Structure 1
Amino acid sequence: MRDGLDAETVWSRTGLPGKSYETPVDSYAVGCKWPVALSIPVDEQWRPGFYLLIMSFEHEGRIYEREHFAVIKRAPEADPAPTALVLTTSTMLAYNDWGGANHYRGLGDDPWEDVPSPLSAIQRPVARGMLRQPEDAPRSSNPSTPGPGYIPRHPAYEYAHVHGFSRHYADAFWATYERHFVRWAEQHGYELDYLTQHDLHEDQAVLDRYACAVVVGHDEYWTGEMRDTAEGYVERGGHLARFGGNFLWQVRLEDNGNTQACYRTPQEDPLTPTEPSRVTTAWDSPVVGRPAATTFGLTGLGGCYNRYGTAAPRSSGGFTVYRPRHWAFTDTDLNYGDIFGAAPINVAAFELDGVDFTFRKGMPEPTGVDGAPESLEIIAMTPATLGEEDKWDGAVPLGAPVGEFLDALDAIYGDDLPERFKGECYGSGMVATFTKGAGEVFTAGSTEWVNGLRLSDPFTEQITHNVLRRFTS
């Protein structure tokens, strides 16, 4: 089934024989190693898009149904669409806990201790909820504004526990993020081609036939090769629109591209002594030496959480405008100091990106100490924190305690902690633009930008139109 504004079933079969196979206990790291049981022929009439593979069977009067996905790309000899949507497959792999573990948790004997797996296998199912979910399933950002005496809640985690979804169903990929952008784009007549981040990893020229490349949602993990492709594309005159946030970690593809590696702590990565530039830790780490802001203008270390648990739970949830004359605000009627996309819409929430900055004449200016491009213009901002503060002495569960972030900084920087991280653990989410070579980049540094599209916020919609029309004209 091709998913989008109007779902289209293109192939269906019933009565197929089924067979079960053994699954390795560490399938999260090595894959399922199942033999091919069914091949589906791809008709050349199928349109480019994101296709859900929905499989079901009946057992003892109950129907069990799960899904996987396939990406149908346009034939190389055909004229491309103006815009390529790059699916965030690396972030999906980081959060996919099918088989018991992911890059965050699942290993170890103590259920209260989060021990991550440094390896994430590609050849396995996708965790329940990442590809399909009910329209009313909670998101990771909280739309309600609490009163005094607030005890933090994480509705998405509670929903997952009650309904048998992955804990991370709302943290990454199609059902929470890209799908909403695709439905909005198709509603407004934008034609898209579809790529995965793995396409960028394997082919540094894959974007060159497009006027614009778009990334949407939770976009946290990239390989160095993927970054090379994106940067080279912009240098040669491409336009990159990133309606997403939390750009933070380098990963590697190993085992002929079948396994994603992310150790996070440099001391644990076996390549640290021999190939430090490929070590799977934060891009801003001195070991890697490739600041995240040089690619997308912003970094996950410059912002992070908003309206998530105890992290700025009563913030506006929107972006405050600081450069209303910027081209991105054309025809929005937004003025200096206006806020767009505020709660309960929440376009600036969950996880965000920013850079180190100062104010001059009432407008934010990047300091450049974290690799921010010289041409970077910060056009809108919102406060963010680097984690949740524990005010309950461990009696209340937190999704992202600030102590974890401080431990990560210690592992990344050791005794050479940059001045910008000393003191309070505060940051900012930002909307920014910059030029690079012959091309241009727009970054809406928030995972939840799609909220403004799915909930029809007129300001977010007009800004998105302005970006796509400029970048594809």
Structure 2
Amino acid sequence: MSTTAASFRVSAFRVGWYGGKQARLIWASPRIPGSAQPPPLLLPATRTVRADWPASLSLDTTGWPEGAYLLRLEADTGHQRHIPLIVRSAEGAGRTVLLHAPATWQAYNRWGGYSLYAGSSGAYATRSLAVSFDRPYDGNGAEKFLVYEWALVVLAERLRIPLAYTTGVDVHRDPSVLRGAHALVCLGHDEYWTPEQRAYVTRARDAGTNVAFLGANTCFRRVRLEDGEGAGDRTVVCYKTSYRADPSYASAPALVTTDYRSPPAADPESSLTGVLYEGYPVDAPYVVHAADHWLYDGTGVRPGDAFAHLVGVEYDRVMPVSPVPGPLEITAHSPVVCVGRPSHSDSAYYTAPSGAGVFATGTMRWVEGLLAGTGELGRDHGMDGRTRAFVTRTTENLLRAFAQGPATRTGPPPRPNVEQVYGGGTV
């Protein structure tokens, strides 16, 4: 911790339903003396920012319920910051596993002036090629968690389905939490995956675990986890368009850190997700296609019903020529215009030979839609209460069905309709 305040306190809140309060205080620290830490290091080879500060406080989470937490840091001056923390589950058999995305949080983190997107000048050319978990998060400290994950955790806990909690980094290290899981839910923005994480999630699907992708742009970037100062898996490496400079380029092309669909080892994400990321930015209505799909039971929708602004800011679509491992049904087909080019965003559902169901929303605003019209996040993108009711009921249908085990045992199979929707074309 680095602060100019004389002291600070830490409070740990577990996220959940809690009768509508959405969080519960689990632990609070005494007053802790504050001190200003030295400037961070910049590792020139990869432009990695690292704050090698001594520990200000250690937490013993023994006895804490597994789940998603938000740590609130409050200086005696009143200034606050937050840190998301996942107390991971040891096993997920028979449960729905919520998969949080710290590698993506870190990729966008600009604390110290550098992220995987831009350097201190704001230029892409001076971006980091590797980013470290050994630094604070920028902004309020928990933006990605609050925007893309919080509301889904609250909803899932309100439904009282059996839940387990983990992160992409933890699955990369040890996939045992996926063994026997009834479902895995990837939240609103989960872009950066290691090949190991992808392989383990695919293996779980092929063993009968249902998978839901409640965002867009999921599993788009191939990354590598490397050690930090004194600890393993503390660095997220992604060279992106500079992939020829990746040290793995000559010796291990399948590990080169670039887009999964790109050379030298192209492996489009649709073989897992059923859809492909196509573009940014968009703002468009979500248009229902298969209104009689079980996902939409109880929503009252009809074919062509639209929900303003629900498609954004990134979107996915079905590509008829891209690999999909089973029969696929497009449930929503939403016209978009991205950088002047017309296209579509698709929600899609397919089943694997194991019986597992896989659903992708095709829009990054799905989890945000759970709070549409409430103003709780300070921005609704113009979405309203009607959209919130639709997204909430659809998500409840999905979670309840997937929590029962392989989807083909409890519900109807997909009705393949890609050729009918796209007519053999690509747009």
Letter paired with 1:330: D
Residue 376 of structure 2 aligns with which residue? none
Q: CA–CA distance in 1 between the matches of 2:30 and 2:16?
A: 24
Shift of 1:224: 0.7
> Is 2:412 aligned against 1:460?
no
1:246 is matched by which residue type in structure 2?
N
**Residue identity matched to 2:224:** R
Paired with 1:81 and 1:35, the residues of 2 have a C-alpha distance of: 40
Whether 2:360 is the aligned partner of 1:443: answer yes
- Relative to structure 1, is the Cα distance of residues 385 and 263 closer, same or farther in structure 2, using a 3 angstrom cutoff? farther
TM alignment of 1:221-300, pairs within 5 A: 221-247=192-218, 248-255=220-227, 256-265=232-241, 266-300=243-277
- Cα distance between partner residues in 1 of 2:117 and 2:362: 22
Identity, % of aligned pairs?
Answer: 31
Equivalent residue for 2:335? Answer: 383
Structure 1 counterpart of 2:395, one-letter code: T
Q: For residues 15 and 333 of structure 1, what CA distance do their matches in structure 2 show?
A: 53
Q: CA deviation at 1:23?
A: 3.3
Q: Which residue of 71, 75, 82 maps to 1:53? A: 71
Distance 1:174-1:81 versus aligned 2 partners, 3 A rule: farther
**Corresponding position of 1:71:** 86
- Any stretches of 5+ residues in structure 2 without a counterpart? 1-12, 373-384, 405-427
Q: Distance in 2 between matches of 1:111 and 1:194?
A: 35
Summarize deviations over 1:386-423 as a string: whole Å, max 9, x none. 5x35xxxxxxxxxxxxxxxxxxxxxxxxxxxxxxxxxx
User: Does residue 9 of structure 2 align to residue 42 of structure 1?
Assistant: no
Shift in Å, 1:459: 2.3
Matching residue within 321, 324, 349 for 1:372: 324
Residue type at the aligned position of 2:53? W
User: What is the alpha-carbon distance in structure 2 between the residues aligned to residue 427 and residue 279 of structure 1?
Assistant: 30
Partner of 1:92: 105
Per the alignment, residue 132 of structure 2 pairs with: 121
Match of 1:401 in 2: none
1:14: how far off? 3.0
**Equivalent residue pairs, number:** 364
Q: Which amino acid aligns with 1:329?
A: Y
Give 1:130 deviation, angstroms: 4.8
Q: Secondary structure at the match of 2:215?
A: strand
Q: Which position in structure 1 is the counterpart of 2:51?
A: 32
SS at match of 1:174: helix
Q: Which has the higher strand share?
A: 2
**2:225, 2:233 within 8 Å by CA — same for their partners in 1?**
yes
Deviation at 1:191, TM superposition (A): 4.5
AA aligned opposite 1:47: P
CA contact (8 A) 2:89 2:166 kept: no
Give 1:53 deviation, angstroms.
2.1
Residue in 1 that maps onto 2:5: none
Aligned with residue 96 of structure 2, among 79, 83, 96:
83
Q: What is the letter of the counterpart of residue 348 of structure 1?
A: V
User: Residues of 2 paired with 1:189 and 1:292: CA distance?
Assistant: 31
Task: Determine which structure has greater relative contact order: mean sequence separation of CA pairs < 8 Å that are 6+ residues apart, divided by chain length.
Answer: 1
1:178 aligns with 2:149: yes
The equivalent of 2:346 in structure 1 is: 430
5+ unaligned residues in a row in structure 1: which ranges? Answer: 132-168, 308-314, 357-366, 390-424
Distance in 2, Cα, partners of 1:80 & 1:22: 45
